[in-house]
Chains A and B, each alone.
Chain A
Amino acid sequence: MRDVAILGVGQTKFGELWDRSFREIGIEAGLQALVDAKLSSADLDALFLGNMASGALIDQEHIAPLILDYAGLGRRHLPAVRVEGGGASGALALHQGYLAVASGLYDYVVVGGAEKLTDVPDATAAEITSSAADHEWEVVFGATLPGLWALIARRHMHDFGTTREQLAQVPVHDHAMGSKNPLAHFRNKLTLDQVLGAGAVAEPLGMLDCAPLSDGAAAVVLGPLEIARRHTDTPIRIAASHVACDTMALHHRKEITTLESTVFAAQRAFAHARRAPRDVKVAEVHDAYSISALVALEDLGFVEKGHAGPAFASGQFGPGGSVTVNPSGGLKAQGCPFGAVGVAQVVELVRQLRGEAKERQVAGADLALAHDVGGTGATSVVHLLERAA
């Protein structure tokens, strides 16, 4: 296996992009990443595209060759592969691209993630994305994605004394971070009272505990580390890329307050890179719901199980804390275009490790972690990134 580096990154604005089509945003992110990597399209060997539900959302399947075609590469007959893993589709596509370069089969690979959620009404988009849960045995009985995460939240509060106010700290934090991100869906700051006073979605979660339905795309260019300096002065090495899965339905887990897929993906990633959670200075973690972030911080090993609520409220994961979480604003503020999320997390972390994150820059960031989840944790993906020596 060869070492793999990230040579270039690109990302569209996230939000309600009414005037832009799926193929437009997909191509914009990919071409930005190519230019950033100082690569010509003639150098490319393959495309991997993360996307959750284009068929249901925009009546279009077979989207990997579509994006390749409109990027001007259709006649070069490159391989283009779509990767799907619910909300973890983007991170899963990155894992596939990493494997392809590490194996030596391909040298230069574009990994994209794209989703267009606002071409259908909100309720339809919510229904379509709920298919990341078990349709036959959860959704048919009245479950929604926020409803299932609310079951996790209620049990976390019951078992560990986590409070409603501690949950509400997550969106307050995310919006404070997102306010410095020009690509974010939301750049307004939130107060605790606004989060607590928002309409209920699935108790104890309210509207402002939930990430929005966004459009957006992100892309990275991967290549072998040994020739990375031909393309960039600051190659970022993928120190680990690991995936773990769990039961499809939440109700089949022995514990619902922990996502074992996250625990296993993180343990494998840290073992692979011979690093520990304490070495990580900046992280993008899955916070589709406020409870998701608290559970993730525990399962990734940043804080003991059950202690994330008080730790988060104390500022441990804010600027100047032991690890700065979601400098992009996370899924909550930067936005949640499902298949794009996992790639966008890595785009932000590459900018952090290069020292190009401007107002959002986390001082001394040299090891970064990205964590993406599909559904209620049937899939988790963890990437560790570091500045190449």
Chain B
Amino acid sequence: MSIARFWRETPRRYNLGGSRCTNCGTVYFPPRGVCPECTHHRQSIEKMEPFQLSGDGEVYSYSVVHEPAEGFEMQVPYVLALVKTKEGPILTAQVVDIEPKDVRIGLKVRATFRKLRQEGKAGVIHYGYKFAPSEDTETSIVPRGPAGAVRAAGVPERDRAPA
């Protein structure tokens, strides 16, 4: 990937800069020029404004990756996750600073600025967001286990997710 191709996304990859549709209020990351939620897309053209994500979220799904993506060879095994931010958008990112076996759906996490990978013979370093636990993983209040167990406790876990 050329330096310019990575560099031009710096505001998003370093600072979680997203966008918000002023027509319907939906927040997007990465930013979009047109709102997919507005029934008539053209209503949102020129009405998307910059929006800063807080970086707080929780794990929506995760995998421990053993066969890495290019540039991640030195990090295996690593945790790849979908993180649902409290503002709504879901991001694909690594979860770090935790043993892979302790990661679970619902784990509260916060964005952290890290080296993502080093690319090619030139060794260009790509920086960006990863996520680290923002709760004490020993005293978690988020129920573990399959959905059946959660439902048996009377509270569907999906309902606990922040909007």
Residue of B nearest to A150 (CB): B63
Say whether B161 faces chain A, with CB atoms less than 8 Å apart.
Answer: no
Q: Is the CB of A158 within 8 A of B92?
A: no
Q: Is the CB of B66 within 8 A of A161?
A: no
Interface flags for A112-153 (1: CB within 8 Å of B; 0: not) read 000000000001001100100000111111111011101111
Give the residue of B6, B78, B82, B158 whose beta carbon is less than 8 angstroms from that of A151.
B82
Q: Is the CB of A158 within 8 A of B105?
A: yes
Say whether A62 faces chain B, with CB atoms less than 8 Å apart.
Answer: no
- Min CB gap A81→B, angstroms: 29
Say whether A34 faces chain B, with CB atoms less than 8 Å apart.
Answer: no
- In this complex, how many residues of chain B approach chain A with their Cβ under 8 Å: the count is 42
- How long is the Cα–Cα vector from A52 to B128 in the complex, in angstroms? 29
Enumerate chain B residues within 8 angstroms of A136, measured Cβ to Cβ: 9, 30
Q: Is the CB of A159 within 8 A of B65?
A: no
Given contacts A140-B128, A142-B69, A251-B92, whether A147 and B63 have CB atoms under 8 Å apart is yes
- Min CB gap B104→A, angstroms: 9
Enumerate chain A residues within 8 angstroms of B81, measured Cβ to Cβ: 151
Given contacts A159-B147, A160-B147, A251-B82, whether A141 and B93 have CB atoms under 8 Å apart is yes
- Min CB gap A321→B, angstroms: 26
- Min CB gap A140→B, angstroms: 7
Say whether B62 faces chain A, with CB atoms less than 8 Å apart.
Answer: yes
Interface flags for B60-73 (1: CB within 8 Å of A; 0: not) read 11111111111010
Residue of A nearest to B66 (CB): A200
Q: Is the CB of B66 within 8 A of A152?
A: no
- Most B CB contacts (10 A, CB to CB) among A123, A142, A154 go to A142
Q: Is the CB of B60 within 8 A of A137?
A: no
Given contacts A141-B92, A141-B128, whether A154 and B116 have CB atoms under 8 Å apart is no
Interface flags for A238-263 (1: CB within 8 Å of B; 0: not) read 00000000010111100010000000
- Min CB gap B95→A, angstroms: 10
Say whether A157 faces chain B, with CB atoms less than 8 Å apart.
Answer: yes
Enumerate chain B residues within 8 angstroms of A251, measured Cβ to Cβ: 82, 89-92
Given contacts A140-B126, A142-B78, A154-B105, whether A199 and B66 have CB atoms under 8 Å apart is yes
Say whether B19 faces chain A, with CB atoms less than 8 Å apart.
Answer: no
Q: Is the CB of B69 within 8 A of A151?
A: no
Residue of A nearest to B126 (CB): A140
- How long is the Cα–Cα vector from A267 to B163 in the complex, in angstroms? 30
Q: Is the CB of A157 within 8 A of B78?
A: no
Q: Which A residues from 215 to 269 make CB contacts under 8 A with B?
A: 247, 249-252, 256
Residue of B nearest to A155 (CB): B61
Say whether B16 faces chain A, with CB atoms less than 8 Å apart.
Answer: no
Q: Is the CB of B61 within 8 A of A252?
A: no
- Most A CB contacts (10 A, CB to CB) among B60, B69, B70 go to B69
Given contacts A136-B9, A151-B82, A250-B82, whether A142 and B68 have CB atoms under 8 Å apart is yes
Enumerate chain A residues within 8 angstroms of B148, measured Cβ to Cβ: 161
Q: Is the CB of A202 within 8 A of B69?
A: no
Enumerate chain A residues within 8 angstroms of B61, measured Cβ to Cβ: 151-152, 154-155, 158, 256
- Min CB gap B132→A, angstroms: 15
Give the residue of B62, B68, B75 whose beta carbon is less than 8 angstroms from that of A144.
B68
Q: Which B residues from 51 to 99 make CB contacts under 8 A with A?
A: 60-70, 72, 75, 77-78, 80-82, 89-94
Say whether A201 faces chain B, with CB atoms less than 8 Å apart.
Answer: yes
- How long is the Cα–Cα vector from A389 to B61 in the complex, in angstroms? 48
- Min CB gap B114→A, angstroms: 11
- Most A CB contacts (10 A, CB to CB) among B36, B77, B80, B126 go to B80
Say whether B146 faces chain A, with CB atoms less than 8 Å apart.
Answer: yes
Q: Is the CB of B147 within 8 A of A138?
A: no
- Min CB gap B10→A, angstroms: 12
- Most A CB contacts (10 A, CB to CB) among B61, B81, B157 go to B61
Q: Is the CB of A201 within 8 A of B80?
A: no
Known: A200-B77, A252-B90. 6 other contacts (CB 8 A): A141-B80, A147-B80, A154-B61, A158-B61, A201-B67, A251-B90
Residues of A participating in the B interface, judged by any CB pair closer than 8 Å: 123, 126-127, 130, 136-144, 146-148, 150-155, 157-161, 199-205, 247, 249-252, 256
**9 residue pairs from A and B, CB less than 8 Å apart:** A127-B70, A136-B30, A139-B69, A150-B63, A150-B65, A202-B64, A203-B65, A251-B90, A256-B61
When A and B form their complex, which 7 residue pairs have the shortest distance between CB atoms, in order from nearest? A150-B63, A155-B61, A251-B90, A203-B64, A151-B61, A202-B63, A200-B66
